[in-house]
Chains A and B, each alone.
Chain A
Amino acid sequence: MPILVTLAAAGVVALLIYGVSAQSPNRTLDELVRRGEDPPAPQATRLLPVLGAHGERSLASLRGKVVVLNFWASWCEPCALEAPLLESAQRSLERHDATVLGVTYLDASPDSEGFVRRYHLTYPVLRDTTGDFAHSYGTDQLPESFVIDRQGRIVAISRGELERSFVRRAVELAERS
């Protein structure tokens, strides 16, 4: 009997530990980037619906370009603050075979489309309807941005509102690579 109780208690504790670790955001990518290991962008071939249009597209379809992957939602205030910065970066990036790729998360498409119109965004935007794509990047707060080089590796991560230096770094990478 005491063995059964011990086993049951151990099971409950294991379940709790697993639950907590599964819910907490994954920071493996941040660690690898900090160490300069430039990990490959996760779920690059995953097809996501295109916002405001029919069809699907994946990150892998942009292979060969420098990509500033930006997770956002229409209800997120910092996303609204950084939207003009990203749009102006898009104009510079386009000239060097690079692009911003927006991915909406936890956002209804009519609201996202309204946001795109309000901030005159011209870069492509995909919808992460399940949240799995965002979670594979350890995204748990918005906005979050990732610079992906022409080989599909993550070279920089920004969690929170973008800083100009982060965007400048992405443009510089596009210019010299």
Chain B
Amino acid sequence: MRRRLAVWVCAALAASAPGAGAALAGAAVRQRTSLLAVERQVMCVTCKIPLQEAQSPQADLEREYIQGLVDKGESEAQIKRALVAQYGSTVLALPSAHGFDLTVYVVPVVVVLALVLTLMLLLPSWRRRARARERERAGSAGGESARLSAADAARLESDLARFD
């Protein structure tokens, strides 16, 4: 009963204050953009290392620029777009999807596809070969018994009869 009452109270509060909910959600979105979050995704353009690790005057200038945009309340995507407009696409830690940089995305896919294709081609033949080997082994076992001499066969029969 008490639990049901609590649920009703929560529902009533949520229904009566949608504006407050939206404000809270907005604050959460705003909080998500931080210098640290952007730093992880961009490079120091002169030192060619992630900005997060860079210690140079240029890195500090980039941080200042990002912090300015963060203070203006811009989102991560907006900040990254602004950085690309200032420094070019080399500022992004992830390579661009054109030119030679495209290989970063294409090569892994091609390698996986090539491996799958190779396995598709090789697996049936491996399986066929394994089956043939099994058959051969079974055949050779049968062949050996067939190759027993008449004397050996007679002795085997008598030995087996002794166990009956």
A residues adjacent to B (C-beta < 8 A): 1, 4, 8, 15, 18-19, 22-23, 73-75, 106-111, 128-131
Contacts and interface: CB of A to CB of B under 8 A. Distances in A.
A8 B57 contact: no
Given A106-B45, A108-B61, A130-B89, 9 more contacts: A1-B122, A22-B99, A75-B46, A75-B61, A108-B62, A108-B87, A129-B84, A131-B88, A131-B90
A129 B107 contact: no
Interface range on chain B (Cβ under 8 Å from partner) = 20 to 34
Nearest to A105: B88
A15 B103 contact: yes
Closest 7 CB pairs of A and B: A108-B86, A75-B58, A131-B88, A106-B45, A22-B100, A130-B88, A108-B65
Given A106-B88, A107-B87, A109-B86, A4 B57 contact: no
A110 B62 CA distance: 11
Nearest to B90: A131
Interface of B: 45-46, 57-58, 61-62, 65, 84-90, 99-100, 103, 107, 114, 118, 122
18 contacts: A1-B122, A4-B118, A8-B114, A15-B103, A15-B107, A19-B100, A22-B99, A75-B46, A75-B58, A75-B61, A106-B46, A106-B90, A107-B86, A108-B86, A108-B87, A128-B88, A131-B88, A131-B90
A111 B61 contact: yes
Contacts of B85: 129
A15 B114 CA distance: 16
A1 B85 CA distance: 48
